[in-house]
Amino acid sequence: MTITKTENDNTVTLILDGWLDTVSAPELKEEFEAIDDKNQTLVIDMEKLEYISSAGIRQLVMICKEMRDRFIIKNASPELMDIFHVTGVDRIIKFE
């Protein structure tokens, strides 16, 4: 997976490209931990994400718990949204 980071005002956007799985979930954790100001809003852009495993979902939930209302996922495909719905993640994470 490739992660591209952009910053704009009080928002950090991480663009995910590829698979968010057991191998790449630690990469997402490292990118999250590298954010200097946790008071910023974090946006995860999934437009190019092809697949997510339970390890990826677990990492997103952990980030959400720390960021609370400053965490947004956008551009998730209908297939990914089905996974988020079945797992109940769509009830705890804000999606755009």
Q: What is the domain extent for residue 61? A: 2-95
Q: Contact at 8 Å (CB) between 27 and 40?
A: no
Q: Confidence class of residue 7 from pLDDT cuts 50, 70 and 90?
A: very high
CATH number, domain at 23?
3.30.750.24
Pair of tokens at residue 15: 């663009």
Q: What's the domain count of the chain? A: 1
pLDDT digits (tens, 9 = 90+) for 12-60: 999 999 999 999 999 999 999 999 877 899 999 999 999 999 999 999 9
Pair of tokens at residue 90: 């769509």
Q: Of the candidates 62, 63, 51, 43, which has an alpha carbon nearest to the alpha carbon of residue 21? A: 51
Residue 92 has a pLDDT of: 94
Q: Confidence class of residue 63 from pLDDT cuts 50, 70 and 90?
A: very high
> Does residue 79 carry a pLDDT above 90?
yes
